[in-house]
Amino acid sequence: MKRVNILIPVAPFEPLSIIKKSVISLSKLEQTDLDLNILYIIDCPDGPDERTRYLKDKSVGHLVRNDTRGRRGGAINDGLEVLRGVDGTLDTDFIALFDVDSRPDPDFILMCIDAIEREADAVMASGARYITNHDSGWIARIIAAEYSFFEDVYKLYERFDGFKQFNGLIGVIDARALDGTRLNEDVYCEDLEFTQRMYIAGKKPVLAKTMVGEQGPTGLKELYNQRVRWLSGALEGVEENMVRFFYAPIPINQKTAWFTSMTLPFVSFLLTPLVPVYGFRLWAKGHDRVLFKTLGLVFHVWLISFCGVHALLNRARKTRTEWTDTSRSDI
């Protein structure tokens, strides 16, 4: 029986209602031949609160952090420390990472483990993403279209063995990939930094035939701040890993796809003529409000380019891009 430990970092602003929905969602995960163990890592700067009391009453595993050190990366590291032996190895076969708003398909973990075990170099697997709050306003609808595009990119890169980055490391990781190591808490995007480390070491993530839902930003400012941080992480990655990727023992298509993924967002406005073509793809996939979403994507590719300029200016001025809180819908 394979042992899987599920870690769910929870930021101070996450409400109890979302945790309740998360507990219900994770309880639906299929457990055939799996020993599933859940651990919520709750950031509580002011001490235990109603969220920790709820998890205690429900006998759900949880760890209380009295600060927000390292934000999400720090919370995951603290969760991993609970599972480590004195030699630094993890007492589990797989680590599954979710956010509190993640809504995985019931077969998510099983399909991810199967995908990892079918690929000799695979150390992580995840499924395509979709937006669960697409009815929460025009921003969320545009993000739903963007995620549809990323789903197609995932499938394309899976077919041609390109660079795949699963945001947040939402997915399942072979525990051996985390033995004796931690997520980097000092970077903008600990998920991207870890994924790059995997590729440079000759390992890779793979796409499983399953899906996971998550909430998208609902406000323009929130979206803008999120993407500036992501692109700050991309700049950081290029600066730190350009030479490492060049010499890494990996295929040229992975190196090319990595560089494209890191740099294309900064000039995404160049994709404007292609967006109407993708509108037909949205229609073929059964999306509603296709015209609105297509026009929204035109706006989006320009917005991302502006976010890139902001990230470049921050880098040039050595100004730190700050992490901002995320609003949640009660789903």
- Contact of 258 with 196, CB cutoff 8 Å: yes
Spatial distance between the Cα atoms of 64 and 42, rounded to a whole number of angstroms: 5
Identify the three-state secondary structure at position 84. Answer: strand
Task: Return the pLDDT at 136.
Answer: 86
Name every residue whose Cβ is closer than 8 Å to that of residue 24 and which is 6 or more positions away in sequence.
Answer: none
Domains of the chain: 2-316 (3.90.550.10)
Q: What is the model's pTM?
A: 0.94
The closest of 45, 66, 65, 49 to 57, measured between CA atoms, is: 49
Q: From start to end of the chain, where are the E strands?
A: 2-10, 34-43, 62-65, 94-97, 103-104, 122-131, 171-174, 204-214
Q: How far is CA 132 from CA 31, 104, 329, in A?
A: 24, 11, 9
The DSSP call for residue 91 is: S
Task: Return the pLDDT at 326.
Answer: 73
- Contact of 138 with 154, CB cutoff 8 Å: no
* Backbone φ and ψ of 179, nearest 5°: -60, 130
Is residue 331 pLDDT above 80, yes or no?
Answer: no
**Dihedral sign (CA 100, 102, 103, 108):** negative
**What percentage of the chain reaches a pLDDT higher than 70?**
100
Classify residue 111 as exposed, middle or buried by CB count within 10 Å of its CB (0-12, 13-18, 19+): buried
H/E element, 75: helix 71-83
The closest of 92, 98, 117 to 178, measured between CA atoms, is: 92
Task: Return the pLDDT at 330.
Answer: 72
Per residue in 118-157, pLDDT (tens digit) is: 999 999 999 999 999 988 889 999 999 999 999 999 999 9
Per residue in 177-224, pLDDT (tens digit) is: 999 899 999 999 999 999 999 999 999 999 999 999 999 998 999 999
**What percentage of the chain reaches a pLDDT higher than 90?**
90
Identify the three-state secondary structure at position 325. Answer: coil
Going by pLDDT thresholds of 50, 70 and 90, the confidence category of residue 318 is: confident
- 95: which strand partners? 5, 173
Per residue in 55-94, pLDDT (tens digit) is: 999 999 999 999 999 999 999 999 999 999 888 899 999 9
- Contact of 64 with 52, CB cutoff 8 Å: yes
Per residue in 286-310, pLDDT (tens digit) is: 999 999 999 999 999 999 999 999 9
Q: How far is CA 232 from CA 28, 76, 183, 298, in A?
A: 36, 21, 17, 22
* Backbone φ and ψ of 27, nearest 5°: -70, -15
Name every residue whose Cβ is closer than 8 Å to that of residue 219 and which is 6 or more positions away in sequence.
Answer: 137, 139, 327
Token duo for residue 141 = 């609808």
Token duo for residue 246 = 């060049």
